[in-house]
Structure 1
Amino acid sequence: MIKPVTCGVLLAGWLACAAALAQSATAPTADTLSPAAQSLAWQQAAAKFAPQRKAILDRVTQAADQGPFRSDWTSLEKYRSPAWYDDAKFGIFIHWGVYSVPAFGSEWYSRNMYQQGTKEFAHHVATYGPQSTFGYKDFVPMFKAEHFDPKAWAQLFHEAGARYVVPVAEHHDGFAMYDSALSDWTAVKKGPKRDVIGELERAVRGQGMRFGVSSHRAEHDWFFDGGRRFDSDVNDPRNAELYGPAVAHLGTGDDQNLAEDWTYVSQAWLDDWLARTAELTDKYHPDLIYFDWWIGHPTFRNTLPTFLSYYYNEGAKRDGVVVNYKLGDFPEGAGTLDIERGQLRGIHASHWQTDTSISNDSWGYIEHDTYKSPTFIIHLLADVVSKNGNLMLNVGPRADGTIPQGAQDTLRSIGGWLKANGEAIYGSKPWRTFGEGPTEVAAGTFQDTKTKPYTAEDFRFTTRGGKLYAIELGWPDKGEATIHSITPADKVTRVDAVADGRSLSFTQDAGGLHLRLPSRPIGSDAYVYRISFSTPNSLKAAP
C-alpha cells in the first residue's frame, strides 16, 4: 500500500523560495539552469498565489478520507464507474484553447513551435518572426472567442446524441480555460475574458447532459522545455508563470515508457497540480474528469490517491463520478481506463472508454483539416459499446468559437442514427459475445483508423430490456442476412427492424438465424435488428 504524502505546502516555504531567487545578484542563463533552478524560477512567479494554494491544500488534506474512500490505492481499487456513465455510451470531447489561434500542425503547436527542426518551428518563424520577439504568450490576446456561443454548442451536442460533454479545462500549454484563483493566465483574465468552462457547464447541464472536464496540466511541467535551448521568450523570468518550470524532458516521448522517464518533477509542482485540480473540481463539480498520460509518471504516485479519494468521496454524495486514465497509469479498478484512439478485441470486464477526434489530423482546430464520416464513427461506436465501452468523440472549434461545418454535419448525422437506433446503444449491456464477422479490429492505442472497413457479414451485439440487438455494419446485396452466433437452442420468436419498426421474416437452423430483408436498406450506416427469444438463458452475458 502506498501512503499519500502530506499535501500542504507551507506559505513560508513558497515565499522563502521566491526570496532566495530574488536575492541572487546574477541569475544563471537559461542554458545553465538546473531542473531545480528552473522549478525555483517558476515558484517565484507562483508565490503570489501561495495563500490561496495553501487554503485549497489544507481543505483537501482534511476532506480526502471523509467518505467511503481513503487516500490509498487499496481503497481506491474498490471504485466502480457509476450507472449513469455506463448507460451514457456516447460523449463529446472539446479541445479548444490558445493553440487554436495559429491553427497549424496540431494542438501541440505550443510545444512544437519551440522544438527546433519541426514544421511548427519553421512555420512560426516564417509567419510570426523569431520566438524571442513573438512567443506563445503573444497568441493569447488574439484568442478572442468572439463567436463563442455555449448554448449553441450544447444544442449541437445534444442533437448529436451525446449524453456527456468534456471540454479541456487546461491543456499542456498551461492556459486555464476557467476562472482560477491560482493563475493570471486564464480565459477570464486574458484573451476571451470569459469563464469558458463555467459557461459551458451551465449550457450543457441545461440540455440535460452530464458535464466533465479534462486536465492536462501534469505535462505542463516540461512542455516548453524546447524554448530553453535557444533565444526565446521562455527564458524571460517575467513569463515563468505561463511557461512553467520548462524542465528538460529526459524521456523518449513515448507514452509507453513512463517508468523509464526520469524527467524532474518537484514536490512544489505536485502540490500545485493537486491544488489546481481540486480547485477545478470544487468550482464546477464535474461528473467526470479526464487525465492525460503524464500522471502515470512515478512521481505522481503518492499525490494521485489524495486527489482521487477527495473527488470520489465528493462524488459519492451525488450519484457517482468518473476519472478516466490511460496506459496503466492507475492500478486496475481505481478508475476508468481510456484507450486513446483505440479499441479492444473483446469484451472488457469493467467499463472502459475510447476517445478519438472527429477530424483526421488534430484534436484542436487546424486549417484544412478533414473529418471522419458518420459511418466510420457509428461503426466505431457500435464496436466499442458491444465490448462494454463508451466513445468520447472530440471536436476542435476555431479560435473565434465557431465549430467547422464539416464537424457539425457529421455530428448531426450521428445524432440522426442514434435517434432512430439508440435503444440498441443507450443503457445496453454486452451479450455473450461482442460480435461476429471477418473484420478484425486493430486493437490498442492509436489504432482506430487502421481497421479495415466493415462488411455486411460483420455484426455487433448488445442487450437491453430482455432483447438482443444485432447491429449489422453493412447492407447485404442478396436480401438476406445470417447471424451465426444465434444457435437453434436460442429460440427466436420475433425480429424487428429498429429504425422503422417493421417485422422481419426469419428462419433458424444449425447455420444460424437467417433474416429476409427488404430490397431497400432500413435507414443508413448500420442496421439494427431487435431479436426476441422464448429462452431467457439466450440473453445471458459472457461470464
Structure 2
Amino acid sequence: MTRVRFLLIVITCLINSILSLSAQETKADIEWFCNAKLGLFVHWGLYSQTAGLWNGIPSKGGEHFMLYERIHLKDYAKIADDFNPVDFDAERWVKTAKAAGMKYIVITAKHHDGFAIYNSKCSDYNIVKRTHFKRDPIKELSVACKKEGIKLGLYYSLGRDWEDPDVPTDWPQKAGRSNTWDFPDEDAKVLSRYIERKVKPQLKELLTNYGEIAMLWFDTPELVTKQQSREIRELIHSLQTHCLINSRIGNGQGDYDIIEQQLMEKIKRTPWEACLTMGKNWGNNRFDTIYKSPEMIIRNFVDIVSKGGNMLLNVGPTGKGLFPKESVHTFNGLYAWLKVNGEAIYGTHPWKTYGENLTPTAEENTSKTPFHDAEYDGIPKGNTSDLRFTSKDNFVYVFARSIQERSFVIKSIDNTDKIKKVTLLGSRLHVGFKHVTNGLQISVPTFSTEQIPVYVFRIEFKK
C-alpha cells in the first residue's frame, strides 16, 4: 500500500467518523426535542410598548402594525424612547415557564420590524443602544435558563426586516410584506446584501455570546434561496453543532416542521411543533382581553402530543416586561394539570391512532377562514367529548376530554388485547373495565375534583 493511498484511507475514515458522530448528536438533540413536548414562545419588542395603539387609535395588524399602518421607520423607531421594561425579571419568566411544565423558551431576538432585543454590535437598532433600558434581555435569560435547567431558543425573522433596505418579499404578492413606504424600489433590493450585512453577523453574535442555544426558530423565509438556506445552516452548525433549526429556514433545510395557529389532522411521526397564542395576538395588545381557557389550552396540547408534536405556547409580555395578568390562569392551569398527568405527556409517543370521537358530530381541526399571518386562529372552539391517546412502554394513556358520561367505549381496543389494569391518574379509586362488542368499556369513577376536565386513564397491557 502506497503512503498516499494509506493517507487517503485514514482521511476517509476520519471524515466518516466525524459524520457519524454528528448524526448521533443530531439524533440525540431531536430525541430531546420530541420528548420535551411543551415550550414557551415569547413575542416581545417595540410593538409591546404601543400594545395595539398608534396615534391614539387602535392599530391594525397586531405586532405587525408597522406594515399595516405604513409607519415610516424614523417614526416607528421613536417607540424606543418610551420602551423601558424596568419590571423585566428573567429569572421570574423562566421559573414561571418551568413551573408550568415547559422545557424550553423561544424569544424573539429580532422580529419583522428589525429591532433586536439584545446587544447587537453589527446593528445599533437594538434595545441596548436605542432605549433607556440599556440591558440585554437575551443575556439575562441565558443565565436564568442555565440556572433552572431550561433550554433557550431564539426566534429570528429571516425573510422580512422592515428596517433594512434590501429585503424583498413575495407573499401574498410581490412586495406584499416589504417596507415599500421607506424603500419603494422593490426591484433594486438585493437580498444577499441583507443576509451578508445583517443576518449572518447577527446569527454569529447570537450563537457566540449567549452560551448554548437549543434551537434557532426562523420565520418567513420569503425569497431566501436554497443556497442561502444551506449557507445559514452550515454557519449555525459551525458555531453550535447541537442547535436545532426549524423548517422556516426554508428550502427543506430544517430539522423539524412548524404549523401555526392550527392543529394537525393526523399523526405525523417526524418532528414537528405547533405554535399557538394564549389570546388573539402574538405580541401584547391592550385590546386582547379574552384568552383561551386553561381547558381549551390543555385540549389543544393533548391533541398535539397525541399526533406526535410539541406545543409552543405564546405569551406577549407588556412594555414593562411583565407577563399579562390574563396569562396567569393558563400557567396555573398547566401546572396543576401536568402535576397529575405529566407521565402521560413527557417521553410518550403516538399510539396506533391519535383518538376517537364520543359524539356523533366530529370536531374539525382547522378553521375554514383564510390564513392571515398577523391575526389568525384556526383552532377548534368547541369542547367536544372525545378521546386522545399516547403510549409509553407497556402503557396506553387515554385522555378523556370534556366527558360527561359515566362510561365510554374505546373502539380501538378489542377482546384480543389483554388488559392487566386500568387506573385514573391522580386517583386511587377503582376503575372498572370490560370488553364489550364494540371495544373496551371504561367506567368513570365518581369523584370530586376541581381538575380541568381532561382526565387520563392509564391502561396497562399484559406482556
Give me the TM-score of the superposition, normalised by structure 2.
0.82
**Residue of structure 2 in register with 1:128 after alignment:** none
User: Which of 198, 205, 224 is the aligned partner of 1:279?
Assistant: 205
> Is the partner of 2:146 in helix, strand or coil?
helix
Query: How far has the Cα of 1:501 moved from its partner?
Result: 4.2
TM-superposed CA distance for 1:290, in Å, is: 0.5
Counterpart in the other structure of 1:139: 79
Secondary structure of the structure 2 residue equivalent to 1:267: helix
Q: Equivalent residue for 1:453? A: 382
| 1:127 counterpart residue number | none
Q: Is 2:207–2:236's contact at 8 Å kept on the other side of the alignment? A: yes
C-alpha distance in structure 2 between counterparts of 1:256 and 1:414, whole Å: 38
The equivalent of 1:498 in structure 2 is 425
Structure 1 residue 300, shift from structure 2 partner: 3.1
Query: How many Å separate the matches in 1 of 2:188 and 2:39?
Result: 33
Deviation of residue 368 (structure 1)? 2.4
Aligned to 1:325: 247
| Residue 265 of structure 1: aligned partner | 190
SS in structure 2 of the partner of residue 414 of structure 1: helix
Alignment of 1:396-407 (within 5 A): 396-407=316-327
- Confirm or deny: 8 A CA contact 2:214 2:244 kept in the other structure: yes
Question: One-letter code of the match for 2:87?
Answer: H
Does the alignment pair 1:112 with 2:63?
Answer: no
- For residues 389 and 378 of structure 1, the distance between their equivalents in structure 2, rounded to whole angstroms, comes to 14
Question: Is 1:356–1:392's contact at 8 Å kept on the other side of the alignment?
Answer: yes
Structure 2 gap segments, 5+ residues each: 1-15, 53-58, 179-185
Equivalent residue runs for 1:136-535 within 5 Å? 136-191=76-131, 192-220=133-161, 223=162, 243-245=163-165, 249=169, 251-252=171-172, 264-272=189-197, 273-284=199-210, 285-293=212-220, 295-297=221-223, 299-312=224-237, 314-316=239-241, 320-326=242-248, 329-331=250-252, 334-360=254-280, 362-369=281-288, 370-437=290-357, 438-442=362-366, 449-456=378-385, 458-477=386-405, 479-520=406-447, 523-535=451-463
Tell me which moved more, 520-529 or 480-489. 520-529
Deviation at 1:270, TM superposition (A): 1.9
How far apart in 1 are the matches of 2:37 and 2:169?
36
What is the CA deviation profile of residues 157-185 of structure 1, one whole-angstrom value per residue up to 9, with x for unaligned ones?
11211010011001111111112111112
Shift of 1:475: 2.1
In the alignment, which residue of structure 2 is the partner of 1:68? 19
2:3 match: none
Query: Are the equivalent residues in 1 in contact too, given 2:273–2:310 (CA < 8 A)?
Result: yes
Amino acid at match of 2:305: V
Distance 1:513 1:188, change over 3 A: same
- Cα 1:296–1:100 change in 2 (3 A) is same
C-alpha separation in 2, matches of 1:110 and 1:186: 17
Match of 1:410, SS state, is helix
Matches within 5 A, 1:123-138: 135-138=75-78
Aligned residue identity for 1:363: W
The amino acid across from 2:219 in the alignment is: D
Contact kept in structure 1, 2:229 and 2:250, CA below 8 Å: no
| Aligned-residue offset at 1:247 | 5.8
Return closer, same or farther for 1:366/1:532 CA change in 2, 3 Å cut-off: same
Letter of the aligned partner of 2:48 in structure 1? S
Aligned-pair CA distance for 1:198? 0.9
- C-alpha distance in 1 between matches for 2:48 and 2:111: 12
- 1:79–1:334: 8 Å Cα contact kept in structure 2? no
> Contact (CA 8 Å) 1:169, 1:213: kept in 2 or not?
yes
| Percent of aligned pairs sharing the same letter | 28
Shift in Å, 1:313: 5.3
Q: Is contact 2:99–2:335 with CA below 8 Å preserved after alignment?
A: yes
The equivalent of 1:42 in structure 2 is none
CA contact 2:395–2:461 (8 Å) conserved in 1: yes
Distance 2:400 2:273 in 1: 22
Aligned residues: 416
TM-score (structure 1 length as normaliser): 0.71
